[in-house]
Amino acid sequence: MLKPEPQHSAYDVVIVGGAMIGSAIAWHLACRLDFPGRILVVERDPGFRQASTSLTNSCMRQQFSTPLNVRMSQYCAAFARDFREEIGDGAAPRIHVQAFGYLYLADNEDFAAHLRRVQTMQAGLGAGTRILSRADMERRFPYFDLDGIILGSFNDRDEGYFDGATMLDWWRRMARRRGVETVHGEVVAISRTQNRASAVTLARGTRVNCGWLVNAAGTRAAELAAMAGIAGLPVEPRKRYTYVIAAENPPSPELPLTIDPSGVHMRSDGAHYMIGAAPVDDTPVDSDDFSFDHSLWENRVWPAIAARVPAFERVRVLNEWVGHYAYNRIDRNAILGPHPKLDNFLFANGFSGHGYQHAPAVGRGIAEWIVHGRWQSLDLEELTFARVAQGAAGGETAVI
Ligand X SMILES: Cc1cc2nc3c(=O)[nH]c(=O)nc-3n(C[C@H](O)[C@H](O)[C@H](O)COP(=O)(O)OP(=O)(O)OC[C@H]3O[C@@H](n4cnc5c(N)ncnc54)[C@H](O)[C@@H]3O)c2cc1C
Q: Where are the beta strands (DSSP E) in 252-334?
A: 257-259, 265-269, 272-277, 315-328
Closest CA to 247 of 262, 276, 277, 267: 267
Q: Which stretch binds ligand X (CB under 6 A): 19-27, 229-237, 265-273, 335-343?
A: 19-27
Size of the site for ligand X (CB under 6 A): 38
Does position 101 interact with ligand X (CB under 6 A)? The reply is no
- The partner residues of 11 in beta bridges, in order of sequence, read 210
Binder among 14, 40, 224, 398 for ligand X (CB under 6 A): 224
Binder to ligand X among 57, 66, 119, 384 (CB under 6 A)? 57
One character per residue 251-290, x = contact with ligand X (rule: CB under 6 A): ----------------------------------------
Instruction: Verify binding: residue 21, ligand X, rule CB under 6 A.
Output: yes
Gap between the Cα atoms of 66 and 270, Å rounded = 30
Position 357 contacts ligand X (CB under 6 A): yes
- In the β-sheet with 102-106, what is the strand arrangement from edge to edge? 130-133, 151-155, 102-106, 257-259, 265-269, 272-277, 235-247, 315-328
Task: Specify whether the CB–CB gap between 244 and 320 falls below 8 A.
Answer: yes
Interaction of residue 28 with ligand X, rule CB under 6 A: no
Burial of 388 (0-12, 13-18, 19+ CB in 10 A): buried
Cα distances from 149 to residues 112, 161, 182, 259, 388, in angstroms, run: 10, 25, 50, 12, 36
Q: Tell the smallest beta-carbon distance from residue 167 to ligand X (Å).
A: 11
Span near ligand X by CB under 6 A; candidates 78-86, 147-155, 218-226, 302-310: 218-226
Q: Does 354 bind ligand X (CB under 6 A)?
A: yes
CB of 326 to ligand X, least distance (A): 6
**Smallest gap, in angstroms, from Cβ of residue 224 to ligand X?**
5
- Report, in Å, the least distance between residue 51 CB and ligand X: 3
Burial class (CB in 10 A: 0-12, 13-18, 19+), 73: buried
Q: What is the rounded distance in angstroms from the CA atom of residue 134 to the CA atom of residue 395? A: 29
**CB closer to ligand X, 80 vs 105:** 80
Quick one: the chain helix, strand, coil %, rounded to 5? 30, 30, 40
Which of 273, 297, 302, 356 is the binder for ligand X (CB under 6 A)? Answer: 356
- Given candidates 187, 301, 346, 370, which one binds ligand X under the rule CB under 6 A? 187
Nearer to ligand X, 31 or 275 (CB): 275
Site for ligand X in 58-87 (CB under 6 A): 58-59
Distance CA 335, CA 331 (A): 10
What is the C-alpha to C-alpha distance for residues 363 and 350, in angstroms, rounded to an integer? 15
Note whether 347 binds ligand X by CB under 6 A: no
Q: Is 129 in the site for ligand X (CB under 6 A)?
A: no
Shorter beta-carbon distance to ligand X: residue 58 or 252: 58
Region of 113-121, 266-274, 317-325, 382-390 interacting with ligand X (CB under 6 A): 317-325
State the Cα–Cα distance between residues 348 and 355, nearest whole angstrom: 10
Taking CB atoms within 8 Å and a gap of at least 24, the contacts of 199-206 are 200/14, 200/16, 200/42, 202/42, 203/44, 204/4, 204/5, 206/5, 206/6
Q: Which of 79, 351, 369, 375 binds ligand X (CB under 6 A)?
A: 351
Residue 144 or 351 having the CB closest to ligand X? 351
Instruction: Figure out which of the listed residues 12, 32, 35, 55 binds ligand X, where binding follows CB under 6 A.
Output: 55
Per CB under 6 A, the list member of 166, 191, 206, 242 interacting with ligand X is 242
Query: How far is 275 from 151, CA to CA, in rounded Å?
Result: 21
Per CB under 6 A, does 353 bind ligand X? yes
Residue pair 54/48 in contact (Cβ under 8 Å)? The answer is: yes
CB of 348: closest distance to ligand X in angstroms? 7
Asked whether the CA dihedral 169, 3, 16, 53 is positive or negative, the reply is: positive
Binding site for ligand X (CB under 6 A): 16-17, 19-22, 42-45, 48, 51-53, 55-59, 186-187, 216-220, 224, 240, 242, 323-325, 351, 353-357
